Amino acid sequence: MCGRFDQNDIARRYVAAFGWADAVYDSAARPTFNAAPGTYRPVLHLVDGKLHVDDLHWGYRASWAADKLPVSVNARLEKLTNNYWSRLLKNGRAVVPASGWYEWTGAKGKRQPWHIHRKDREPLFMLALADFRPLRDDNPENKAESGFVLVTADAEGGMVDVHDRRPVVLNAADAATWLDPELPREQAEMLARQMALGPEAFEWHRVSTEVNYAGRDGEHLVVPLPDDDETDEDKA
């Protein structure tokens, strides 16, 4: 899964890395090294052929499911064509740009966070599903009704034993294809399966447990822990 991510650059730089000359910006979210569920983060999507950057609530639950299902922050790639996600797969494909994401290892109470990023340190373009319709007037508190989720897939060995799930990350050109509303949902799902970057594209290091706390922020959160802080299990 992905429960936190590092989105520490401004939206305009992510758009430039995406390969688009310009976009329509409706985003006031500040960069953060510790984006957490329930916050509003910049999301890329296409509207009438133009790239838009909008701040969306991280977490989605269909309005009809408010009393039936919990809010989701991730959607499994292998379930995107089911009844719950298929509408968003058709009309709500989005991309969340980031510099990395976090995963945790270890027993409960001794969880060790890891920062995962591309080896070339280029931005990540994580696939997402979102509902871009405005909140209903009769339910203004249900923020998740117009939220987003990150698409996750099997980590092919747990990103070398860091975790068994990972966000689906594409190169910029493939991510742009994912956004194309003319792409049928079946082909979009196939694109995500076939073109997702594999473990060989990434590297990771252990970081401070301070990232465990939502609201903590700063560049120090992504600094690698020194090797002498490794546990005996890490060294084995």
Active site residue 103: yes
Fill in the DSSP letter of residue 214.
T
Per the DSSP assignment, residues forming a β-bridge with 54 are 26, 43
Q: For 229, which DSSP code?
A: G
Cβ neighbors of 11 (< 8 A, separation 6 or more) are 23, 25, 27, 29, 42, 53, 97
Beta-carbon contacts of 41 under 8 Å, excluding residues fewer than 6 positions away, are: 7, 29, 35, 55, 56, 58, 96, 148
Alpha carbon distance 70, 163 (integer Å): 22
Catalytic residue among 2, 122, 200, 203: 2
> Is 233 considered catalytic here?
no
Token code pair at residue 171: 């190169």
Q: Are β-strands 124-130 and 93-98 bridged in parallel, bridged antiparallel, or unpaired?
A: antiparallel
Out of 78, 103, 182, 219, the active site residue is: 103
Residues known to be catalytic: 2, 103
